[in-house]
Amino acid sequence: MPIYEYKCTDCHRKFSRLVGSIDAPPPPCKYCSSSHVARLISRFARHKSEEDTLDGLAEKLETADESNPTALRQMAKEMSNELGEEISDEEIESILEGDDTGSGDEV
């Protein structure tokens, strides 16, 4: 079954849904229950390449200067622009997870 990604036009948040049919009507917003949601490009179709890109991004970050989280975040943002895909702060954090020792901005 395909997974579709939707964006709520009320609260502007994105969420994905597993749908049973291509013609299924968009579900209400997961966050605010609004019915004003737009279906984005099928995540199903591009899921693989997105995963690969994120893997590549993680790899790149691993070899980057880990003592400079600000630079890492900047790099992630730039790569997200290249993807034409907005990477949320949460996603960046999850990519950086493990590298962040919580020691703050030590240089």
- Interface residues with Zn ion (CB under 5 A)? 8, 10-11, 29, 31-32, 34
Q: How far is the CB of 32 from Zn ion (least distance, A)?
A: 3
Q: How far is the CB of 35 from Zn ion (least distance, A)?
A: 9
Parallel, antiparallel, or unpaired: how do β-strands 14-18 and 3-8 relate? antiparallel
Nearer to Zn ion, 36 or 77 (CB): 36
Q: Give the Cα-Cα-Cα angle 52, 47, 36 (nearest 5 degrees).
A: 140
Nearer to Zn ion, 16 or 53 (CB): 16
The strand order across the sheet containing 14-18 reads 14-18, 3-8, 37-39
